[in-house]
Structure 1
Amino acid sequence: MSSNDEGLTCNGRVTVFTMFGVVFGYATHHLDDRRIGDVGVVGPVTPGVGWPRLWDMARKCGKSAAKDTELAQWILIQATRAFVCGSDRIAQFEQQGWKLEPGGKRVSFEATYANRDHLWTGNLTVEGLTPEQAAEQPTLYRA
């Protein structure tokens, strides 16, 4: 686990989904020329919501003694669920610009999890989202 002191600007597939009313983006990043998307990138796109809220959700929904790696797995599986199943998906872009702001949290998995070796979280911006798509969504549950 490490802090994300550098931002990241990319162009690629982005899934935008809602979880407990907050809107998040999920993208992938490649660390080498194999371009296998070994890094999952997840962060809130809802204005005024910071990346620690994502980790708070994971803590509230996971087991009380969970370590950061287990919390990161929970976060990644929620994003993967939205991508694969379309659950709570707001938008799916095949080629879209996105930016991960400096700050945030990075976790490396001991073994590949949900096809990713790392999870990087932070505040995310996705080009082309309307204010309505990024706004907090109605929900029955809060975390």
Structure 2
Amino acid sequence: MKLLKYLFVGMVFGIILVKSEAVSWYRIYEMFKFQSFHMYGIIGSAVFLGVIGVALMKRSGLKNIEGHKININPKEKGFTRYLLGGSIFGLGWALAGACPGPMYILVGAGVFSMLIVIAAALLGTFVYGVIKDKLPH
């Protein structure tokens, strides 16, 4: 029964992203060409709400669904790693026309070519797992 809650929240989130056109390839293309504020507004409001949500979680001692306190570990510092990682993520987003969450939403909306993108993302994740110990972290 607990998993049905997650399924419901995921479906509502997917509907919201489709209706707001956040999964639209044309909106993403406009964003990367700096032709429209639409996606920047969506991303900016998500970041703003995320900052508020994390601050509230830290202050209130919120617990997860299993009753354990949510603990958010501090991230490692380093400008280069985030610049490089963000650039790779952005390149993949620009080439595929979707970031990881909307890939699944687009499949649900009938864009079955996203299955190729999902397969490539899974392959990339697997390859990273294999070579992770050899990379400078």
TM-score by length of 2: 0.26
| RCO comparison, higher one (Cα < 8 Å, 6+) | 1
More helix by share: 2
Structure number with bigger Rg: 2
More strand by share: 1
TM-score by length of 1: 0.26
